[in-house]
Amino acid sequence: MSAALSKSEYLYKMFSKRTKNKDRENYIINRIWSLLNDDRIFPITQQQIMRTNQKFKRALVDLYFPQINLGIEVDEDHHLSNSNKDFDRFRDIREVNENYYELRIKVDSNKNQDIEFIHAQVDMAVSLIKRKFLSYKFEGDWFDDLKNPQKVAINQGFLSSKQNLSFSTHVQALQTFGFTGRQMMRAGYPLEKLGYSNDYHVWFPTIDQGKNSASNSYQWTNSIEEIENELYITESLKNQQDIGPEIGWNKRVVFAKIKDPIFAKIAYKFIGVFSFDNVKSNQSKIYYKRISDTFQLNKLT
């Protein structure tokens, strides 16, 4: 995210651009935010959550409050005919965010629908959100944390895939570990250079979204797979030539390349520590199994 962006500009874009051409959703989400009337609360519209289900790579939450891990979903007509898909979506979100709580507001396309019915649901949602925030301890300004995720991680002493930290560049992510350089364009970086164990590399893979995308000019393709309730990142080459794990890359601290949920710009999100799986890997595909969803920022020195 641009360092020059102000908090007001962030909020303007958050509640306009991300709900553009969605009249009912836009009205409901903006009404909720107006009634909360508390800029200590951190709002995200159209929050992207990576799913392990292979058919639907990402879930979108209409309005999300990361401080209390609560989402709002506006149920329009198309949700009524897709209840099974909605259940799968909610299940997938809970698999990667087990304490996630969701409120659903029902809306239909009937132009004569009573607006008071909508307002009543919104009022109930706002009341519940406020009650949840009663037990939340506000510390600092969420916008400062948003602009400086590396400082948040350093201050708390760890990275967690359950947090809503996204890094705008490789350099910003690496600053979490003590990197002081100005540029870093490679897909990986050895943490041994920054005082950590030589077992670990930071890795910035582009996750394939089913569009035959590749992570770099060498035509590497990376995907996320769930196998027997374990999360894996797979790595293969488009030309199907034989491949093998790169020496020194057996354990990877992974920042997946994603789209920033507000401005659709590239960002990098920590998704866990992955280790080379010698059993599942073969000459055409390498498997890395997630061994932890956190990483402690403890140097050897």
Mean pLDDT of the chain: 81
- What mean pLDDT is predicted for residues 151-160? 93
143 burial type by CB count under 10 A (0-12 exposed, 13-18 middle, 19+ buried) = middle
- Report residue 163's pLDDT band, with 50, 70 and 90 as the boundaries: confident
Which amino acid makes up residue 213?
S
- Report residue 171's pLDDT band, with 50, 70 and 90 as the boundaries: very high
Contact of 199 with 250, CB cutoff 8 Å:
yes
- Rounded CA-CA distance 26/22 in Å is 6
Given a cut of 50, whether residue 213 has pLDDT beyond it is no
- What mean pLDDT is predicted for residues 172-192? 89
pTM: 0.72
- Among 58, 91, 61, CA closest to 269: 58
Write down the H helix ranges in 135-281: 142-147, 149-156, 170-175
Given a cut of 60, whether residue 26 has pLDDT beyond it is yes
Write down the H helix ranges in 22-114: 23-36, 77-80, 83-96
- Rounded CA-CA distance 224/82 in Å is 25
> Would you give the distance in Å from CA 235 to the centre of its chain?
21
CA distances from 285 to 244, 253, 271 (A): 8, 19, 20
- The total number of residues shown for the chain amounts to 301
> In this predicted model, what pLDDT tens digit does every residue of 218-244 receive, in sequence order?
567 888 887 877 888 888 865 555 555
Can you give 170-183 as a three-state secondary structure string?
A: HHHHHHCCCCCCCC
> In this predicted model, what pLDDT tens digit does every residue of 42-88 receive, in sequence order?
998 888 766 555 444 567 889 999 899 899 999 876 545 555 555 55
- Report residue 214's pLDDT band, with 50, 70 and 90 as the boundaries: very low
Which amino acid makes up residue 231?
L
Q: What is the dihedral of CA 79, 83, 84, 86, to 10 degrees?
A: 50
pLDDT at 91: 56
The position carrying tokens 């030309």 is: 239
> In this predicted model, what pLDDT tens digit does every residue of 96-125 receive, in sequence order?
556 788 899 988 766 667 889 999 999 999
- Rounded CA-CA distance 172/176 in Å is 7
Contact of 262 with 18, CB cutoff 8 Å:
yes
